Structure 1
């Protein structure tokens, strides 16, 4: 479970609600203030308009993926780059000692589909260039597919404030058309302001964070699949497992290497993080008087 995503929503909604109900003069919570921020007309204009634009812009399958995307955001799959590198190095050692055909026995133990299918091509003696092209094609398709998924939420993030402004214009028109009626004047003012609020909340609390978090999840998955591709190609070329390990560690971004260093791993010049040795505490001899 991604605690940061859950806490982020709680903090964002919590502080906005706090600003709505807290009275700075009396220093008390006035929950009756919430009624002023509930307007069905504004909700219909902003939310309904945004959903309508998304329905026009994207096919029905994008709406069916919303549940899957929520699961990716709040309960993501773990992509441990160090674990992937260790697994690839072990496979490289096996291939180096017993040959590529010996990897067939290890295929059933590999959980990652991309790594499994890539090694299967190697075991079946598929040409190196063909293996590389197939893997690159799959990575390209993955990148494009995830970009389309993010575009759905990015479009929502741009449409929600736009319908907030449309609601504001509608409210202003109602105000100008009923200047003599105080009740309708207040109603038009409420629509004008609350639709802008709803649009901003939809864009900045729901759509934009969803797109950003999906991009972060994509980067994690894409990095691990890139490590797999480079590792499998190196294995098929018969490169030294030690060289493969150093090569894969050098592909990691600098921020992740610094994170490893912060968790107690040093980074030498070869690019491979190694655990720091703990210094032994020397026993102090009692001072003789």
Structure 2
């Protein structure tokens, strides 16, 4: 499990609640069942109405991805294709068949299988890029569910507050409790704005980042497979693929490369 999303979730909620307590408030004051029902129930209903059942079924998988996704190791991938390049230059493209195991990344396996089958390089690129684009669009659509929730939640909070104020204004017989009732009414707005900015929108942003990382990884894989297919020199292949790495990753790769040469 990736612990960082959990840490930052605790930090965001902890900061908000901690500041509230420092101002003299009590955590119990933040608990309002009716506000929670209006905001979260209304948000779920609105999102469900605006999304297809197929997308809604993907929500558990998306939540799991947010909290379990590991950082893409592009350095390892570049090194893998460098070693594969040495192998194919020595033994030919058919030697790739030995690499096509169940443990291999499915996208890499598919690309290498196309190479072994003798598919034209342009067709290999077309097939892999089409799958990449389809995956990107699908993940983008799934992430839009949380963006939608982030848009609906504040509005639901305002609706909850208005409903609470209607109740307050309909009964002004006891002025002594008006302040408390008005405060409770505004908890709905707090729930709506808080859930949007502390939960839904950050989750949408996290999914967007993961999608971009996967796109970059698959883009690297496509270029590597095509270079393998054309029989590129391992050093040339390495230099081209290093263009996908940032400075820190490139430094790490150079250190590994130097260790292997020594």
TM-score using structure 1 length: 0.81
Query: Which range moved further: 161-170 or 102-111?
Result: 102-111
Partners of 2:16 and 2:63 lie apart in 1 by: 22
Q: Does 1:45 align with 2:38?
A: yes
Give the SS at the match of 1:274.
Answer: helix
In 1, Cα distance between equivalents of 2:149 and 2:129:
31
Please report the RMSD computed on the Cα atoms of aligned residues, expressed in angstroms.
Answer: 2.4
- Bigger CA radius of gyration: 1
Query: Does the 8 A contact of 2:164 with 2:182 survive in 1?
Result: yes
The CA deviation at 1:16 is 2.0
Give the C-alpha shift of residue 235 in structure 1.
1.3
What does residue range 162-201 of structure 1 map to in structure 2 within 5 Å? Answer: 162-182=155-175, 185-186=178-179, 189-201=182-194
Is the 1:58–1:152 contact (alpha carbons within 8 Å) kept by the matching residues of 2? yes
The gaps in structure 1 that reach 5 residues or longer are: 25-29, 267-272, 278-289
From the superposition, tell whether residues 177 and 5 of structure 1 become closer, same or farther in structure 2 (CA, over 3 Å). Answer: same
| Shift >4 Å, 4+ stretches | 183-188
Structure 2 gaps, min length 5 = none
2-structure distance, mates of 1:275, 1:121: 32
| Aligned counterpart for 2:255 among listed residues 275, 279, 282 | 275
| Greater RCO, CA 8 A, separation 6+ | 2
How far does residue 218 in structure 1 lie from its aligned partner after superposition?
A: 1.7
Structure 2 Cα separation of the partners of residues 83 and 70 of structure 1: 27
**Preserved CA contact (<8 Å) 2:150 2:195:** yes
SS of 1:239's equivalent?
Answer: coil
Larger helix percent: 2
How far the C-alpha of 1:185 sits from its partner, in A, is: 4.2
Matches of 1:21 and 1:165, distance apart in 2: 24
Preserved CA contact (<8 Å) 1:41 1:191: no
Instruction: Give the drift of 1:39.
Output: 1.7
**Which residue in the other structure is 1:242 paired with?**
235
Matched, 1:57 2:37: no
TM norm structure 2: 0.89
Superimposed CA distance per residue, residues 163-200 of structure 1 (whole angstroms, 9 cap, x where no aligned partner):
11122222333333334443784575245311110001
